[in-house]
Structure 1
Amino acid sequence: MPANKKYLTKSPWLRLSKILCGSVGGYAVTVSLHLFFTAFLPKENVIMTAAFTGYILWAFLLLYAFVATNVWRVWGIYVLLTIVFALPYLLKINFNHGS
């Protein structure tokens, strides 16, 4: 049974934007979130956690980009989250005083 045509994206550029937003934007948010955790937790623990949770989070972010009605809002959310999560790493702030 084919998909209902009224729910499919008409523009190929909008479809490409959803694919890129979900894959690249979701990956950027996933990596920056785990970089954010390195500011508070030991790096060895974050690396092991990222091996398991990274794919799950990326899959949910990929799915959200396709489910959302406005892909440009999703782009904005992903860019904002990436910047916020990457700030401690970019500013070299380390709250983990144990190591």
Structure 2
Amino acid sequence: MPANPKYLTKSPWTRLSRILAGTLGGYTAMISFHLLLAKLFPAAKVVATAFFTGYLMWAVLLLIAFITPKPWQVWLAYAGLTLLCSLPYLIS
């Protein structure tokens, strides 16, 4: 059953923004979160668990980018998460 056209994105720029926010923004938020965990816990254990949790977290963040109604909200949220999680790593 095909999707209802009224729910599809009309603008290709909005679609591109969602794709980029999900992939790049989700990836940077995931990496900065694991950098925060590496600062709090032993780095070897964080790297070992990041193989599993990193992909799952990135997939969820990618999905959230398409669920949110406006792409700029996703960009703002992922930029804030990236800055917040990487702040302790950048300070020291």
Instruction: Give me the whole-angstrom Cα distance separating, in 2, the residues matched to 1:43 and 1:49.
Output: 10
Do structure 1's residue 73 and structure 2's residue 73 form an aligned pair?
yes
* Larger relative helix fraction: 2
Q: What percentage of residue pairs aligned between the two structures are identical?
A: 53
Q: Secondary structure at the match of 2:40?
A: coil
Q: Return 5+ residue gaps in structure 2 as ranges.
A: none
TM normalised by structure 2 equals: 0.97
**Per-residue displacement from partner, 1:49-77 (whole Å, max 9, x unpaired)?**
11110000000000000011011011100
Q: Return 5+ residue gaps in structure 1 as ranges.
A: 93-99
- Give structure 1 regions of 4+ aligned residues with deviation exceeding 3 angstroms: none
Instruction: Give me the whole-angstrom Cα distance separating, in 2, the residues matched to 1:7 and 1:36.
Output: 38
Partner in structure 2 of residue 84 of structure 1? 84
Larger radius of gyration: 1
Instruction: Give me the whole-angstrom Cα distance separating, in 1, the residues matched to 2:68 and 2:7.
Output: 12
Q: CA deviation at 1:19?
A: 0.1
Partner in structure 1 of residue 12 of structure 2? 12
Q: How many residues align?
A: 92
Letter in 2 for 1:71: P
